[in-house]
Structure 1
């Protein structure tokens, strides 16, 4: 598959890093030759310098033979125009564009078959907003990710001493809760992955991933953490695109305060938001936080576009008594440094965004992908096609699929039914199998297994 990545900023570089590791034919277009040289030194890719929307530049990048365009420059209009040019002049099969302005994304008719030639619109701000909203539904969760159109969710939590299942083997989960469909799919202990088994004992501090229908999530979490009280009072640092979207989505369900440094921006936010208290000031100002009763805040979330400011304000909020602090961090080096030790949770815009892209490059019928643990692991949802004898999966039990040890089947979604994926569970045509891959190098094995029987796997 030949993929053109337009834009070599943070998101573009993250996309290239993921794709280059999987041996795709990648060409990157950017205006900055220095950035392109750095990427060439790191990855086995092609590069072209120039404006990503100009036809001659796209031609030099090989757009005529491209299977996919990923337009992620910092300019919405450039991304839209590049996709339109690629469609009109070269009929590129699939075009993905990052679009940040809500003025574009709020109108669904603007894109698609009857509109502008963008097949998939990705808004990192909306993805982050949805991610934060998901976390707030389940106090104590570190990730909440949807599969099968929300019928099943993947949740990660840190096990806490005193939870009924902590210091006990995994098999006791279904002794405590015999009717649940939940399945523990992975455990990370001090950063190292463990393949879960019934005899595996969960220890305090383990990062535990499980899949479950939404109605069962809180009950399973209580087994791993005890009782977490619902959030009520939220405080956000940063009134940019993300801050505004998050406040708008949450202000009618929570008590929300938003801190914005720019007085003009704060005035506009106060006019646009209906039920949010907008404060003008520096979120790293100790006196401001104390005056706003930071010790009574359930969640403090630093989501400015400045990593250092986010880290400092989150650390200060935690020191002053905020129940849980979250920091948005773009640079992976910073994220690895502060997570767990200095703040409760780090959100990476790149990791949250990359899954939306990866499902469009995965071979086989993959309908959902989530990149996990800085891209080292992955959770995906594949659909079984064909009939027994022709398909590599239909008609076979889980144990007969030949899955490598690092691929952990979670659940099967069959119509409206959610089924635990046991060793003797037989896969039927149309089943959605949700799997956890502890190592991304195992992806080709899964892709070949779930390749449509009428299509030869690459």
Structure 2
């Protein structure tokens, strides 16, 4: 597939890294020559320096022959105009744009149509981040949670601590604590390194354990890895932007919420908006220790820092925890900060870039792939693939799981079959229309996985013959 990516920032360059090994012909466009050369030196791609919304730039990128345009520059207006040009001048079949501004998103049903601004798929990072935080609030103790099979299956990560029933025991003892539950441990990271997983692997305190489970069994599995935390009740949100506002609106009926905004005008507007809700709005510096003391931050179950400034988010969360807040979730834009904070100073950190790339990959990848989630900040992936074909025209349908020649670093986690959810064993047979969830630690082998799970070309000719 010929793909043009507009914008070589964190998301654009990250997307190149994911797609370059998947039989795609990629062209990356950006104004910054040095940034383009750094990426070109790492990957075998074409780069074009220029303004992403100029017809000449798109022509230099061979837009006439492109299958897909992905507009992820820092400007909504450039992204939208580029998609318009891709539609009007170059007839590009699929156009994806990242849109940040809430005003555009609030009118998306009218704006983003072929008769107005022809964008086929919109990626809204702020909405994705808000939804991710809402899920984490529902499951105390979970550090990442992604959904598959229309929300029926969850892949989650939990830190193992002394007090968890399985900590200090081997993986094969898990069945003693989760009888008849739909749960499987899929990966263990020890000191940030993936370890070899087998039934005799002993789970140690400090391990980061990834597992898949039916949605209703996530808390059960969490309880085997650490002492189960009570549900959150009191939450403080730092920030007054769209993420903070929408998050407060989403959770205010179930939780006691305090919202902290530094700008007096914004704080007054938010106070008016939340006047008839349980949300308390304060205008203050989130690093003001006296304010935090007066507002009993030590009584907070969770502090969520989601301003547009990484340093403010980090410092406000650290200070709140120092003064007694139990847990902290921090929004971080720059990956460099994430690496610095891997020492448990912050409980959970969320990257808009990760959420954006997951959404982009879900829209870009084909061959039966219906959902993609980046895990552990890009080190791994969760893939959901719907199987098609039949025994004669597939390498997986009608085969035992034990007989599948899965690429290295890829494992089957779970199967959704109509209304049934399965944790497959060696003798499980895959069927047509099964939805299979994979854990991928070797992303370079995704191309081989897609080849393995896709029906043979002869399947479609056979279907055509039957139809005639």
Instruction: Please state which band the TM-score falls in when normalised by the shorter chain.
Output: over 0.9
Greater mean alpha carbon deviation, residues 155-164 or residues 196-205: 196-205
What is the match of residue 265 of structure 1? 266
Does the 8 Å contact 1:29/1:49 carry over to 2?
yes
Task: Indicate conservation of the 8 Å contact 2:407/2:449, yes or no.
Answer: no
Q: CA deviation at 1:107?
A: 4.7
**In structure 1, distance between residues paired with 2:426 and 2:313:** 45
Q: Which residue of 2 aligns with 1:308?
A: 311
Q: In 2, are the aligned partners of 1:363 and 1:448 still within 8 Å (CA)?
A: no
Aligned residue for 1:299? 302
Distance (Å, rounded) in 1 between the aligned partners of 2:424 and 2:106: 38
Counterpart residue number, 1:14: 14
- SS of residue paired to 1:374: helix
> Which whole-Å deviations, capped at 9, do the CAs of 1:232-266 have from their partners, x for residues lacking one?
11111111222222122112221111111111222
Query: Would the aligned equivalents of 2:98 and 2:124 in 1 still touch at CA under 8 Å?
Result: yes
CA RMSD of aligned residues (A): 2.0
Aligned to 2:178: 177
Closer/same/farther in 2, CA of residues 322 and 50 from structure 1, 3 Å limit: same
- Equivalent positions of 1:59-98 (< 5 A) are 59-98=59-98
Aligned residue for 2:378, secondary structure, equals coil
Q: Report how far residue 313 of structure 1 moved.
A: 1.3
| Deviation at residue 405 of structure 1 after TM alignment | 4.6
Offset of residue 115 of structure 1: 5.9
Q: CA deviation at 1:113?
A: 6.2
- How far apart are 1:42 and its partner, in Å? 4.5
- Tell me: CA distance 1:41–1:238, structure 2 relative to 1, closer, same or farther (3 Å): farther
The question of 1:431 aligning with 2:438 is answered no
1:37 Cα deviation after fit:
4.1
Aligned length: 456
Residue 25 of structure 1 is matched in structure 2 by: 25
The answer for the alignment partner of 2:406 in structure 1 is: 403
Q: Tell me how far apart the structure 2 counterparts of residues 24 and 304 of structure 1 sit (CA, whole Å).
A: 36
Cα distance in 2, alignment partners of residues 271 and 221 from structure 1: 39
Correspondence for 1:378: 381
Query: Match for residue 387 of structure 1?
Result: 390
Deviations 1:75-112 (A, max 9, x none): 22322222122122222121111112333334563335
Paired residue secondary structure (1:360): helix
Aligned to 2:465: none
Distance 1:207 1:187 in 2: 6
- Identify which range, 215-224 or 275-284, moves more after superposition: 275-284
SS at match of 2:244: helix
Residues 53-202 of structure 1 correspond to what in structure 2 (within 5 A)?
53-107=53-107, 109-110=109-110, 111-112=112-113, 116-202=117-203
Moved more, 361-370 or 49-58: 49-58
How many angstroms does 1:114 deviate by?
Answer: 6.7
Cα offset, 1:226, TM superposition: 2.3
Using the size of structure 2 for normalisation, the TM-score is 0.92
| Aligned residues of 1:135 and 1:143 also touching (Cα < 8 A) | yes
Contact 2:188 2:194 in 1 (8 A): yes
CA shift for structure 1 position 269: 2.1
Pair 192,269 (structure 1): closer, same or farther in 2 beyond 3 Å: same
**Would you say the 8 A contact 1:195–1:405 is kept in 2?**
no
Give ranges in structure 1 of 5+ residues lacking alignment. Answer: none
After superposition, the Cα gap between the structure-2 partners of 1:453 and 1:22, relative to the gap in structure 1 and judged at 3 Å, is closer
Question: For structure 1, which segment, 138-147 or 253-262, has the greater mean C-alpha deviation from structure 2 after superposition?
Answer: 253-262
Separation in structure 2 between the aligned mates of residue 26 and residue 272 of structure 1, nearest angstrom? 45
The alignment partner of 1:378 has SS state of strand
